Every structure is written in structure tokens, then in C-alpha cells.
């Protein structure tokens, strides 16, 4: 798996047109639900997230790495989870303009997810949308195969970010499969003007919601996390 990640990063690194990187620190003592992948024994968890996005000559790539500290139900204290999602623009691949109306471009969408004992492979199609008031909105529909559930399924994913309004903005994502709904919504305030720095520092909160229901097994968690984001 790590060789695949390295190959994807190497492929896009020499073709960068635009890139942005940030670090996020999140904390909550409300992880008191019954979701194995999120909740902890005492409800406390701290997460450090490295997030990166870049465009390149054939499309774009999004990735993040989470380092999570909190005692899980299997006695694990620290976990590592990462996703990498390259997309390949059909307009660029076929050297033609495919945008019309609110549809900016179409993509071949791929994704690789890796956790401590989890691996998932996703492939499908994607689209970028023009939505007033937003910096970006994208929608991807995947075929999903992982090493946990025997039955393969679909995943519908959308990510978005609003334009700033008085230094406030809203961003997040939602993933929907036949088994689960997973969403994380961030409401952030840009402190750059207060600190007069070139880098951007955001302070705010993230709302996390996860609901799973499959073969008679169900679990749910929902909570707010305090967070700070440093954008390079």
C-alpha cells in the first residue's frame, strides 16, 4: 500500500499547478457513542490531521493523514488513518472542453484508504460544480471494495468550501454508502488579520456525525470538536 501512495505522490509532484497544505488539531471529550472507528473508552480523543490538495496537468489530488490519540475499545491508544484521492480530468485527457451550465469538469475518480487494519479501494466518476458563494463543490460516485465487509458497495461523496464572509467560512464533506453516513462539517474563523501573518490560522469547531446500519448491526456517534487549523 505504501508503495502505491509513494508512486501517486511522485507522479503528481513534478506536475503541480496549484497546491495548498494545512495542519489541524482537534479535541473532544464527547466520543461516547458506540462506533468502533471513532469512539473511545473515556470519550476523549485528540486528532492531528495533515491535509494536502494539489492540481496537476491531468487533474487533481486530495490526501490527508490522521494521527488519533485516545483509548479505543480494542485497547489501542494511537491510530493512523490516511486517504489519497487522485482524479483525472476528462477535459484534459481528451483535450476538449466538457463544461456546461453548472458543471465545470468531469473526472475519473480514484481513492485509496488505509487504516491500522483497514484497506479500501474506490473507483468511479466525479464532477466539479459551479455553485454561487462556494470556492468549490465536487461530487464523486465510487464503487467501493474493502477488506472488512464481504459485500462490495457504492460510495457517494461530496466536498465543499464556502467563500469567506467577515473572515468566517464553512467547509466539509459527506460520504454515503449503503451501510453508513459519515459527515464532518467545519465552521472556522480566520485569525490572519489579528496576527498579521502571511499564513492563515483558523479557529473554530467541527461537527462529526457517523451512522452505520448493516446486517442487523447498528452504531451511531455525533459530537462537536474544538479545532485549530494552520494553513501554509
Rg of the chain on CA atoms, in Å = 18
Q: Output the pTM of the full model.
A: 0.90
Strands 153-162 and 103-114: unpaired
| Cα–Cα distances in angstroms (integers) from residue 44 to residues 107, 125, 205, in the given order | 39, 37, 16
**Band of pLDDT at residue 12, cut at 50, 70 and 90:** low
How high is the pLDDT of residue 10?
52
**Band of pLDDT at residue 42, cut at 50, 70 and 90:** very high
Q: What is the mean pLDDT of residues 84-98?
A: 95
Per-position DSSP letters for 114-145, written without gaps between them = E-SS-EEEEEEEEEEE--TTEEEEEEEEEEEE
Sequence-distant (6+) residues with CB within 8 A of 94 are none
How high is the pLDDT of residue 19?
94
How high is the pLDDT of residue 195?
81
State yes or no: pLDDT of 76 exceeds 80.
yes
More confident residue, 59 or 194: 59
Task: Write the CATH number of the domain with boundaries 2-231.
Answer: 2.40.230.20
pLDDT in tens, 195-229: 888 889 999 999 999 999 988 889 999 999 999 99
State how far the Cα of 71 lies from the Cα of 77, in Å rounded to an integer.
4
The b-or-e profile of 42-57 (16+ CB within 10 A means b, else e) is: eeebebebebbbbbbe
Q: Exposed, middle or buried: residue 17 (CB in 10 Å: 0-12, 13-18, 19+)?
A: exposed
**So where are the chain's domains?**
2-231
- Output phi, psi for 41, to 5 deg: -60, -45
How high is the pLDDT of residue 9?
53
Q: What is the mean pLDDT of residues 116-133?
A: 95
More confident residue, 61 or 151: 61
pLDDT in tens, 48-71: 999 999 999 999 999 999 999 999
How high is the pLDDT of residue 15?
58
How high is the pLDDT of residue 1?
46
Amino acid at each position: 500500500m505504501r508503495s502505491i501512495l509513494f508512486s501517486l505522490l511522485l507522479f503528481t509532484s513534478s506536475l503541480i499547478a496549484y497546491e495548498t497544505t494545512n495542519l489541524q488539531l482537534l479535541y473532544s471529550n464527547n466520543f461516547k457513542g458506540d462506533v468502533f472507528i471513532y469512539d473511545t473508552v473515556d470519550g476523549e480523543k485528540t486528532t492531528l490531521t495533515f491535509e494536502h490538495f494539489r492540481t496537476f496537468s491531468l487533474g487533481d489530488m486530495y490526501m490527508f493523514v490522521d494521527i488519533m490519540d485516545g483509548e479505543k475499545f480494542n485497547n489501542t491508544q494511537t491510530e493512523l488513518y490516511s486517504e489519497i484521492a487522485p482524479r483525472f480530468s476528462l477535459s484534459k485527457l481528451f483535450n476538449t472542453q466538457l463544461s456546461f451550465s453548472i458543471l465545470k469538469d468531469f473526472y475519473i475518480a480514484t481513492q485509496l484508504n488505509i487504516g491500522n487494519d483497514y484497506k479500501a479501494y474506490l473507483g468511479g466518476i466525479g464532477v466539479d460544480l459551479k455553485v454561487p458563494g462556494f470556492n468549490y463543490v465536487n461530487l464523486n460516485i465510487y464503487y467501493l471494495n474493502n477488506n472488512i465487509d464481504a459485500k462490495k458497495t457504492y460510495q457517494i461523496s461530496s466536498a465543499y468550501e464556502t467563500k469567506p464572509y467577515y473572515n468566517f467560512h464553512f467547509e466539509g464533506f459527506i460520504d454515503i454508502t449503503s451501510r453508513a453516513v459519515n459527515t464532518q462539517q467545519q465552521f472556522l474563523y480566520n485569525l490572519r488579520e489579528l496576527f498579521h501573518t502571511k499564513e492563515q490560522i483558523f479557529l473554530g469547531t467541527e461537527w462529526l456525525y457517523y451512522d452505520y446500519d448493516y446486517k442487523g448491526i447498528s452504531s451511531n456517534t455525533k459530537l462537536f470538536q474544538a479545532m485549530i487549523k494552520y494553513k501554509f
